[in-house]
Amino acid sequence: MKIREYYLNEETGGLYIEFSTKKDGDDFYRSIELSSDKIRFYSPIIIDEIDDIDEELIVEILNGYFEDQDLPEETML
């Protein structure tokens, strides 16, 4: 999984993430916004502050999240 962009949405408190899977390659990306509750639930570690998250942790959170959920639709780059 490749994280293309991510930022904290200050209005909703969620984390907006654009990413590509290995299957997507460089042709497509997907986007999702996870609430702070979902981020904390799917994180393998305890998170104190959402804005302290790095790309490696985001990949781990997304991998856990997508074990239970379907991937979002693809968007062409």
pLDDT digits (tens, 9 = 90+) for 16-70: 999 999 999 889 999 999 999 999 999 999 988 887 899 999 999 999 999 999 9
Instruction: Return the higher-pLDDT residue of 37 and 77.
Output: 37
3-state SS of 17-31 is EEEECCCCCCCEEEE
What confidence score (pLDDT) does residue 26 get?
87
What pLDDT is attached to residue 48? 83
Between CA 31 and CA 27 the distance in angstroms is 14
Name the pLDDT band for 77 (thresholds 50, 70, 90).
confident
Please name the amino acid found at residue 52.
Answer: D
Residue 58 confidence (pLDDT): 96
